[in-house]
Structure formats: structure tokens, C-alpha cells
Amino acid sequence: MTRLKFMCSTACVALLAGNAALADVTPEQVWENWKTLSTSYGQTMTTGSEAREGDTLVIRGIDLTSKNEGAEAVMHLDEVRLKEQGDGTVEMTMSETSSMTVKTEAEGEVPATTTGLTIATPGMRVIVSGTPEETRYDFTGSSVKASLSGIEGPKDVPEDLKLEATLRGLSGNYLVSGTTDLVVTSNLAADSLGIVISGTDTADNSKVDVKADMTALTGQSTSRMTGGVADDFLAALKAGSAMEGSFAYAGGTMDMKVDGAEGPMQISASNTGGSLSFAMDASRLAYGAGAKDARVTVSGAQIPFPQVNFGYKEGAFNLVMPVSRTDAPADFAFLTKLVGLTVSDEIWGMLDPTAQLPRDPMNVVLDTKGKVTLNVNLLDEAEMAALGEGAPGEINALDINELQVTAAGAEVTGSGALTFDNSDMETYGGVPAPTGQIDLKAVGVNALLDKLMAMGLVPEDQMMGTRMMLGMFAKVDPSAPDTMTSTLEFKDKHFFANGMQLQ
């Protein structure tokens, strides 16, 4: 986890330091600001030469080094040119190719690793404007391509491993405010993103070839980076650093081919757009993602059918949670959503060869929110290690905004709200005593149970027990066929189902 945080913080620091350096109106001011900020972020900078050539300050042989526990990253740029435009702005251009080397120390059975990346930015141009206190820079480029140049250390790395990511038709801008405490607001657009991965597995000599593409990408982000503590991610958050952003694309495709000892296999996938959002500060973490009209096709010798297909109309995930110790209950939320899930007849045929079950699209939705109290900082490795197997906090409240499960002709829906007494862990066997109510509705469940018994999937004696349990917890709605409702209530340390006390 330390290495992961180091890699993330190194990338952010390099970007912010480089961009903030553009916040001045003369080449010398830009360069001095860059060096000062680089030092304040814990980076070490060396150069081969710095000299004026007419209206342009030229810096050659730039190395930016970032170090953290067990890891080191070095970015090398052959040349950066800062040119006076004569109108109070500065044009920045750089070598069309730069490189990054990341070294990690051995840890347990994981050997020391050296990873090299080559970054190509042909025609990239940045124009800086504004004031030293609030600087805007606009950039355009035909493409940005990052390629793996090599991995040394692990024995199982394919010799022919290829990894490339290419952004095309890139444009955007950054607005940089402040000096010690930077606030960076960004907007980015790109025509497409292409990813290529290929190689031969050294274990079984199988070959893998993956190609993925996204179109019409857009992104926005805002980050606050507190100066002087960026080399310590947790300290930076505690000092006030924060970030949030969103990303979207209009459509995506992926094709993967595997040629192994058991024969070829191919997976193809597509969707009509997706999104990603994130936010993080000292108190909370938020993450969300979604996609629409996803389709997946699988074929090959490893499956018992020539081809299988599945897909969904909409998928979504969202998580909001506190990450630091809280004196008062803090908000959390969790959403998982899969709507319109369909699978091909080949899969249905394995489960239901006589086609007794309806093959309508399936839905699974769980949308919740609530309150929790944390007793530790989740991002502090020492505190988490000291916690051992203990709980990191307490749940105070849970709201079920929506519950929906639809499959094989049956549907269960529900909603409810509960609060919890964490001082009472005895009444419900180690669970904080709840107070509140959950309302459920089931349609078509009896018909589904009849079909499952007729298919032999559920024995008759077990089915009788299932129906008895339904009779205890649910009541029949006389106004609708095969419809049951249930009100589950926790009150005064007791549990009621439809008014009947069961505990």
C-alpha cells in the first residue's frame, strides 16, 4: 500500500509542480518558481544547463527525482524551452520524448523491480497567461503516448511484453491559484484513448493480445495541495489537501485474444458510454462509476458452447465513506446497480433446459446511506495494524433507499430505516440493537418456487420449510395475484414481523 500511495502522490506532485511553474509571466520567473516548488514537494532537481537564447530560456538535461520508503521515481526531460511571447504570456515547449524510471526495493518474495516508461508528446504546446497569483495555461497536442520500455527484476515478465496507452486530439486548460497552497482546476478533452497490451506468458507459452478504445473523453478536476507535505500523503491530507473530479466517455470497445495450449479464446466487449467520479480529503473518500448498454461476447475452446453473450442496460457503483477518526457520526453511502441484465440462451439452457423459467432481463439494485463513527484513521497503516481483528468503528444508522431484485419472473422490492444502539451488543447476538422498520414486497415468488420444485432444483421437504418461513414473515395481498408484503420492525429490544412479535 505504501508503494501504491507513493506512485499516486509522485504522479500528482510532478504534474502540479510542473504546472504551477508556469504561473509567472517571464521565462526566468517560471523556471525559478518551478525549482522552488519542486524542492518544497520533496523532489530533487538537477539540470545539465540553463541559458538564455534570445527571447527563450532553454533548460537541458532535467531530472526530477522523488523518493519514498522503498521506491524511487526519476523523470528525465532532454529540453524545456520557455519563450517570451511579447504580450505578457509565455510559451512552453519541450522535447517530444521524455522518460520515467521507477525503482522499487525487494519486499518478501517480491524482487526489486526497475520499470521504464517512454512518453511521447509530439507537437505539445502550452500557452501561459494571467498573473502570478492566478495563472491559466492552455494546452493542445496531437497525441500523448506512454509506452513500457522495459521491466527488470521479476523472472516471469514476458520478453515480448508490450504496453501502450495513447491519447489523441488532446486539449484543455488548467487554472492555478496560490503559491504555497496550490488550488488547481483543470478541464481536459480528447478525441480518443487507445490501449494495447500483448505478450507471451513464460509459464505456458500462451499469447495474449488486448486492444481497448474509448471515444470523446472529457474530464474535470479540482485539487488543493498544501505545500511542504506532499511527500507524505497522509500528512498532506491532514494539512488540508483535497481532490475531486469526474471523467466521462461516449463509448468504448475491448477485444482480447488468447492463444494457449487449450486452443484460442476471444472476448469482445462494448458499451455506449461511461463515467467515473472521485473525491478525497482528510475526512472522506468517495468513488463512483457507471456504464450503459454493455455487451460482452465470449468464444473459444475453453467453454462448452461456440459462443455466449451477456450484457446490461445500466450498471452503477457508488461509495462514500469517512476515512478518519470521527467524534460525531459521519455520512456513508453505498450503491450497486445492475439493470436489464441478459444472458444468452446457451447459459439459460444449462440452468433450465426445459425453458420453464421466464428469461426476462434481471435487475439488482441496492441503494443505502447512513451514519458511522470511526475509531481509527483508515489511511494510517500503523493504526490499522494495531487494530488487529477489532472493528474500526460503529454503525449508527442505516437507510435503505431502494432494494430491488428481479429474476425469473419474480421481484422483491423494499425500503426502510434503522438506528443502532452500540451499547447493546447482547440482544441480537453481537450486533448493535436496531430500532426502525423495513418494508418488503414480493411478486411472483410462489410461482417461482413451484417451478423450481417441478424442475427438481429444490426438494419438496425443503420447499415446505421455505413456504412456512414465508408464512411467518409475509402476508398475502388479496388485491394482487401472487403478491406478498412484509413489515419488519425492531422496537424496544424486540423484533416484529407484520405486527407479530418473534423476539
Q: What percent of the chain has pLDDT over 90?
A: 55
What predicted TM-score, i.e. pTM, was given to this entire model?
A: 0.83
d(CA 125, CA 306): 50
Average pLDDT over residues 429-444: 93
Evaluate if residue 20 carries a pLDDT over 60: no
Evaluate if residue 16 carries a pLDDT over 70: no
Q: 419 or 69: whose pLDDT is higher? A: 419
Domain that holds residue 274: 252-394
Q: What pLDDT does residue 491 have?
A: 93
Neighbours of 29 (CB within 10 A): 16
d(CA 434, CA 420): 4
Average pLDDT over residues 139-148: 95
Same domain, 422 and 343: no
Same domain, 377 and 433: no
Question: Which residues of 326-469 form beta strands (DSSP E)?
Answer: 330-343, 362-374, 393-407, 410-421, 433-443
d(CA 369, CA 285): 14
Q: What pLDDT does residue 237 have?
A: 81
Same domain, 260 and 389: yes
d(CA 394, CA 383): 16
Average pLDDT over residues 70-81: 92
User: Domain end: 327, 359, 394, which one?
Assistant: 394
The answer to the question of residue 63 being in a domain is no
Evaluate if residue 23 carries a pLDDT over 70: no
* Start-to-end C-alpha separation, the chain: 45
**Helix (H/G/I), strand (E/B), else coil: 59:** strand
Query: 395, 369 in Cβ contact below 8 A?
Result: no
Same domain, 440 and 337: no
Same domain, 274 and 309: yes
Query: 266, 256 in Cβ contact below 8 A?
Result: yes
Average pLDDT in the chain:
87
Same domain, 415 and 365: no
The answer to the question of residue 447 being in a domain is yes
Q: How many structural domains is the chain composed of?
A: 2
What is the 8-class DSSP label of residue 303?
A: S
Q: What pLDDT does residue 478 have?
A: 81
Q: What pLDDT does residue 227 have?
A: 58
The answer to the question of residue 46 being in a domain is no
Same domain, 383 and 425: no
What is the 8-class DSSP label of residue 21?
A: G
pLDDT digits (tens, 9 = 90+) for 394-409: 999 999 999 999 999 9
Same domain, 384 and 427: no
The answer to the question of residue 400 being in a domain is no
The answer to the question of residue 258 being in a domain is yes
Evaluate if residue 40 carries a pLDDT over 70: no
Same domain, 382 and 425: no
Same domain, 265 and 382: yes
